[in-house]
A and B are shown apart, each in its own frame.
Chain A
Amino acid sequence: MTELEAGRAQTLAPARSGAALRRYRDVLIALIAFAVLASLPLLSGSKALLDFVIRCSAYGLFATSLNLLVGYTGLTSFGHGMFFGLGAYSFGLIMQKLGVPIPVAFVATLAITAVVAAIIGAICVRLKEIYFAFVTLAFQMLIHSTILSWASFTGGDQGLRGGIPRPAFLGINLANHIHLYIASCALLILGLLAMRQIAQSPFGYTLRMIRDNAARASFLGIDVWRAKLTVFVLAALFASMGGMVMALFVSGAYPEFAYWTISGEAIFINMLGGVSTFLGPMVGTVLLLLLNDTVTRFTEYHGIVLGIVILFFALGLRKGLLDFVAEWYAHRRETGEGR
């Protein structure tokens, strides 16, 4: 018995500090990543490179938030882009019509997103698999058509024109390219860190249980509907953040931001990067934007090239790039230990 207890103490002690250690490790990685991104303007004068990173921030937040639903909870949403569009539009409209400071518009947009996501989520998360996918898609189309037809308010198919005012706050002037760049990077890193925390929290493991076996989870006393609704709203908030970064970047909002193809792109990104690792969608984002930018430069048939690439990932690798790397690494470590 004493031997047993000793064994238990041994397994427990490192594991307990391990949780705290992993958290510090994540923060450390985030700080290093931010430092690298922030020093980029000093190393390179290329405005295109900074623009690329800003777009990666917007899409990265958006795609990673979709992975909270798809990868962690098993909820395949085809309409996640509606929150990207909602974020861009409500932020733009608040800034244009009310002229409040940017942080106020930021928080107000998150609040609006939370309310809309809670209503749509309450209807959708009861549905299973394909029904969930298509009803979310239907809501996306509803929001898109509302934007198109309510032209007096949203500018219709022209989008929010005339630019979004970007008054300086706390010494930060988002009209300045470098300031906008640093702010986008900061939002990306903070957003990723927050989503990482969600994924690694007790709630994150509740999501994994629901993905694997929702019925069993309910027999452990978990309110599956509530957990799904919570993650639906949380994911919408980060997608909305991505939309706001996009709106700031292009200084406007366009109906395409709320069109179903934007949801499709996020799914595409998740397939490219992989859903089994936290950073898969981030890798996918960089891949997709790189592909988009390079391919469109060489050919007008970029759709064909992107299609072939996704076929390669879907049929060839049968997983995303980072899934592939993670499996290869795990396999290598196993055989290494075996030796």
Chain B
Amino acid sequence: MLEIRNLAKSFGGVKATNDVSLDFPDGSLTAVIGPNGAGKSTFFNLITGALKPDSGQVLLDGVDLAGRSPPEIVRHGIGRAFQVASIFKSLTVQETMLAAVSADQRTSAVLHKRFPLPETRDRAEHVMELLGLAGKRHRTAATLSHGDQKLLDIALALVLEPKVLLLDEPTAGMGPEERWRMIDKVRELWESQKITVVFIEHDMDIVFKIAPKIVVLCYGRILATGTPDEIRNNSAVIDAYLGTEHAGAAA
């Protein structure tokens, strides 16, 4: 279980994350929403070690990971994908997967054997098939479509077999149809892999449709948490976000 306790981070005078406490039970699927600048990405950056929190705890199964380095946090089982697909542009899809498994198996510093190591193959193969990238295994990452690059980014996180998967806007920059395909994929992964998934999403239709639980952030604070119905009818959320921004987001 991932427990966030009183997490705080300020940039100058701006409280980007302000005393956030949240629980993500094992196997849960949670959407994080909020207007631009609400601190959603900062929240992810604090959990994954890209930023050091000013105070607070990030407890994964009781171990406090707050302030540790990204490699350490990844090794404890928190994987992430990025808003802008973060991939290795000159490697092929297959090489990317194999190298990531190598990193996870702590063989990424091996000098005396040839890449790829045989023991990395099954896992790489499994995740490529899971995400439908197996047919594009020999394509160089830079030549993939935008959607496939996002999938490869998620595959990179998933191939490490994380306990918790954080997806920063998996549908960013996609057309309406592609969005639904991506989010169906995310839901399918969540169901089949039995991992904890937390994702940031702007499209309210998507969020209300697939997320059993929603967290609303606003100015670095938690505005509300609850089921889609609870959020939809929450007056604070309607005032701060849905009432004004939802109309704009839907357009």
Identify the A interface with B (CB < 8 A): 4, 8, 11-12, 15-16, 19-20, 22-23, 197-198, 200-206, 208-209, 211-213, 215-223, 226-227, 230
Q: B70, B74, B160 — which one has the most chain A CB atoms within 10 A of its CB? A: B70
Q: Which residues of the other chain, A, contact B82 by a CB distance below 8 angstroms? A: 216
Residues B72-113 near A (CB distance < 8 A): 74-75, 79-80, 82, 86-91, 95, 98-100, 102-104, 107-113
Contact A197 B103 (CB under 8 A): no
CA A11 – CA B88 in complex, angstroms?
A: 23
Evaluate whether A205 and B86 lie within 8 angstroms (CB atoms) in the complex, with A219-B48, A221-B103, A221-B160 already known: no
Residue of A nearest to B79 (CB): A219
Cα of A324 to Cα of B193 in the assembled complex, Å: 45
Is residue B125 contacting chain A, with contact meaning CB distance below 8 A? yes
A219 and B91 form a contact (CB under 8 A): no
Query: In whole Å, how far is A260's beta carbon from the nearest beta carbon of chain B?
Result: 30
A202-B99, A208-B91, A212-B87 given; 20 more Cβ-contact pairs under 8 Å: A11-B125, A15-B116, A23-B114, A202-B102, A202-B108, A203-B109, A205-B115, A206-B109, A212-B88, A212-B89, A216-B87, A217-B88, A218-B70, A219-B48, A219-B80, A220-B74, A220-B103, A220-B160, A221-B103, A222-B108
Verify B112–A197 contact, CB threshold 8 A.
Answer: yes
A218 to B121, CA, bound (A): 21
Does B118 touch A at the CB level, under 8 Å?
Answer: yes
B116-A202 in contact (CB<8A):
yes
Expressed in whole angstroms, the minimum distance between the Cβ of B71 and any Cβ of chain A is: 5
Q: 5 pairs across A/B with beta carbons < 8 Å?
A: A197-B114, A202-B109, A205-B108, A206-B109, A221-B160
Q: Bound complex: CA of A11 vs CA of B112, how far in Å?
A: 24
Which residues of chain B are near A223, meaning CB under 8 Å? 71
CA of A221 to CA of B70 in the docked complex: distance in angstroms? 7
Contact A200 B102 (CB under 8 A): no
Q: Which residues of B contact A (CB under 8 A)?
A: 48, 50, 69-71, 74-75, 79-80, 82, 86-91, 95, 98-100, 102-104, 107-118, 121, 125, 129, 137, 156-157, 160
Are the CB atoms of B112 and A212 closer together than 8 Å? no
Task: Determine the distance from Cα of A335 to Cα of B114 in the docked complex, in whole angstroms.
Answer: 30
B48 touches A22 (CB 8 A): no
Evaluate whether A16 and B108 lie within 8 angstroms (CB atoms) in the complex, with A209-B99, A213-B88, A222-B103 already known.
Answer: no
Which chain B positions have C-beta within 8 A of A208?
Answer: 88, 90-91, 99
**Complex-state Cα separation, A209 to B108, whole angstroms:** 11
* Cα separation A294 to B77 with both chains bound (whole Å): 60
Whether A206 and B88, one on each chain, are in contact in the complex, defined by CB atoms closer than 8 angstroms, is: no
Chain A residue contacts of B79, Cβ below 8 A: 219
Q: Which residue of the partner chain B has the closest CB to A222?
A: B103
B125 touches A12 (CB 8 A): yes
B110 A203 Cβ-Cβ under 8 A: yes
State the Cβ distance, B152 to closest chain A Cβ, in Å: 11
- Set of chain A residues within 8 Å of B91, measured between Cβ atoms: 205, 208-209, 212
**Residues of chain A contacted by B111 (CB below 8 angstroms):** 197-198, 201, 203
Contact among A8, A200, A221, A227 for B115, CB-based, below 8 A: A200
B114 touches A22 (CB 8 A): yes
Which 8 residue pairs are nearest across A and B when measured between Cβ atoms? Answer: A212-B88, A19-B114, A220-B103, A221-B74, A206-B108, A205-B99, A216-B86, A202-B110
